[in-house]
Structure 1
């Protein structure tokens, strides 16, 4: 086997969903942990992420009994990733943890970035919030004192409040300790098959006391750990400040205290806190009126809901309290509203009545959530049809969201909307949703979903599990029973829900015909966003018949381009059934499906090519997200023109360029466009070159001066000689580069003359 066809390097971390994802995955070393890790996941979920400094290609999780489990690249491999150990994704874990922590405290506009400081993405983690006016910067890479001071000055000049915290290897925390008496550090440890994030407080004696983010507060100064609250500042002692008065405060057990009927107070003099007076009841005690202090930027509590304080909080006596002023203050970092109007743990709490009839879950969801609820319901129906379960995180990735975009409360609200209204004749599809890394059984949020659908809020864990098992089985049985043939067998038609899928099938097969190739059934299904496990053989035939409509000498039989996985060539075993469904008879073409197949394949190639040549804008063989440009706020043709100008300039200067350079010239972020879209842009740049012109796309290189992974597809689409072998492809690329350099060197010289 040639050396480029095998990758023997061990990679311990990956990202999930797509190459530019910031959702990290650590593969546990032990085979038993491996099995738990893979629950609800597939072998196609993992990528050598670009935010890990990787190549963006898919990784395969390898299970071993007598050595460490790890990820491996799929050959051929051209990856120059340098950090592959268990800590190589720690910057992503830290970024995710900070993002979730800030969202739980009410910050909605939280943006995380991973600057490249010279050694690849993740030299630092920058988390912006508060409409971009606040920044937490986690310095991961080592940095000289001079660089540190210069970067601090640069950030300070941007009118942004910055808190500097440090990773385990930054090496400059002593400067922070010297200046302020302490430093905040982040580190990750392998626990329970994942990397858990810890926050440390470093003291002048170099000791570091660790805690979790859930135990920390956010103030105007930044992250405050329990150790900073409990210990006097060393810097203050050095300045002669000997005031050691400690405020009396009692810690409150998380999840044991709830409140309602909260109204803002007239007194708002607590720094970085907003005050509310509310009815408060600890579990097992009586209700009383207390004052609550919440972070300034947190979402105000609704007086019409029950709210539970589930994070660390403290009970503080208020001085000079009178008959009309509460005697106690609860200082909390956040709260979680319940979906129910009452809870047996706090029987005395009664929320203020809503000013109007409470809306249904669909009405409470924002308009932008309606499409998401519809999508989730459709995906869960597919999951039920394949008798499987699916991770909540994977569900979101299918729609292009990150897990951090939704709070746990959002998750419950959306799943309740998916199954609303509750009915005995339909299953609770939310029973098929689990969380990544959870143990087998119902998800932790399932009892809240049940409560939102009308079940009792105080169900025992055993009762919740019993409902979960029954609803999951009902989902499998009912959805399996609703086979497509019930609605379409008599007419040969398709159900309305299939129309969008059929359209995507047809578009993808036209691309295949334009490239004059064949496609595996599973690949076709994956590219169109469906699940092959959820499509029965009879449904497959029905879908392909619907793609082609009916047999006609003027209509290409696109289904002839579909083959089974692993099949070399020739008609698929189901091709005869498709032809029969199209109305084909032995007298209308060759005598048998096997003999008809090459003719129908070539006819599909010819008719699609003819239609493309007659069009001013022939179809691209690559999938291109047409909604992408609106999201980026730029026109596609503007990007094409900018990329062409940059490539012409590079040719005149006899230089090769990376996609990062082209993206910068077009005014977009390099990671904004995926490989298929990049390829389609380079095709448009070189489309006018014809069969003999110079190819500016040959000047685009990846790391190590190698051809970009889609260069062969560009050549193939433009009708140029191409090869699937890297050595031969590199030779073609170098020849095309030489032609481009020669052509534009002459042009540049003529301009100068």
Structure 2
């Protein structure tokens, strides 16, 4: 921050190269910083760029010691540009940052700025054609209606999913945070001549956790930050919108109709039923009705009134339901007046003639008394309903879920009686097919309800065939089916209990003597499902799966030797591949969904890249270990001649467990070299707070400890605008190397040392080209 403050009447931003350039720059405000900038970029030309809303004229940099340095137009220039401050080029910095992120992650996409009526910096659009997804960085203010119109316009462009990233805090951001649990935000911070982009996840309590853009991930589910990942995992289903219904309503349950199992109005603590609903002064309508879950649903042979607590629930898609917390049963007269109920006809039962002795006189018999309505209902024989296959699957699913809620198992006969059909009409093949369709698609997050069916005290004898068709590995002929059914029964009790509990892991049926990472699961039979499920795969894929298993085994072997950051990457790759192979009982829905959406090649590439990173990390750790051992040897020699006070004798032991700043810097530079990349100076640890002299000493120490013929890792560090750091000549001098006089020679040495670093730390290492810079003493 300049000590002179900001003057927003002056031009602080421009573009480099030509008037239509999208390469933004912020002129340093301090005179000393401007001097350094000029020396670092003597050939730059600056323009009032058209992509900044400027006139396109050339700018000159003005240096002042008594006020802020700034750009200035040439004499007689006419410019109507209104935004001149640091933030006026934010859209171009965002565009460049996203392009770098796409390139680093090797994701195909297009980035362009948008003028929505107030200037070219209104928005930045990111198109991801492969994922049919778009991101919009909304930098100008929008009200809710304008946001909805923009969202509808983008939806008409063939985009399946759209993520919004907002700059200013507006009522729209609070609306989205309340609806989805979070809202993405963007802000930029000035660092030298750059504006660094940060992505924030704003929660409903208005707190924002910021992450640098380069630490985010662009995936098929959108722009991901660590905070967004945790919110999406823990976020409950969004609640529907509620509107009060004045005057109340009356309703009668419809027992022969079932509520959809995937309805957005389903809640764990409520009953969702189908009912005939009659609001005050309105016709009767059949609708979904949400009732309190702390009691059983009301019997279907009565009519009820909800007077004060009725609300209409509405979703964005147009669905609706009625919600009420209190209701009372109407008496016969009130129920009859609603038109939803009529009293049942009274019937008489013929008396059964009794035998009496001839000598006993005949007694007058009393007229027969009609039994109560409940008794008459019990006396009527129930006829099995004629059900279609789809209806039967739905009833089986709901009936077994109800048994799980009660914490009980059942049999085919009891279940058939419960849901109203004749089990004797179903053959074993029919029953097996129904259960397969009922439990399809197989998911780690939904229990297999077929495990609740028993024959006596044992699971169904054909349960193994059902699981094999669902895609459970090693289920066919497994000796563990009985134990598997017990575990799955407990999972169902947990999922459907009141209240629901967290489910445990599904039992793995793999034989103990068979290693899952080196064998491919048996082919699975295809089954008709409602969403993608792993099916039988061609033989040509078996080799790919075996390769995945081999890579997993290698990563597991080296994982204990890795640093925390690389170990996290390795674990993520292993989890995704094992979820694809079907050998990992994942508990997190987003992770499972992402793994299933990716291809085999994606998981193989992810494992191979993780293995390369692991080997590089181990190589860096071994280098640091040798360096530490050399330092300890030096310290031990010094301790023989220098006495250490006893009160400090235990300090080195505690400090040795934590890597020093130089060790962390060495590890970071080795990782950068292994990826064939460079790293900006400002991205180094503490680079924002430490002076250049301290950073230079750290880099010199790293290169000196690497050995006389090792590549200069300091050559991987770039200045904020690219090229060698300003003190690279001093680094060469302090290392005892000849210092070139021309910038051209310096750049040739700098590029050569980068090539040597890439070769030395490649996997496997390559021969290093010769060094271009000789030792200082060899230069006359």
TM-score by length of 2: 0.36
Q: Relative contact order (C-alpha < 8 Å, sep 6+): which is higher?
A: 1
Higher radius of gyration, 1 or 2: 2
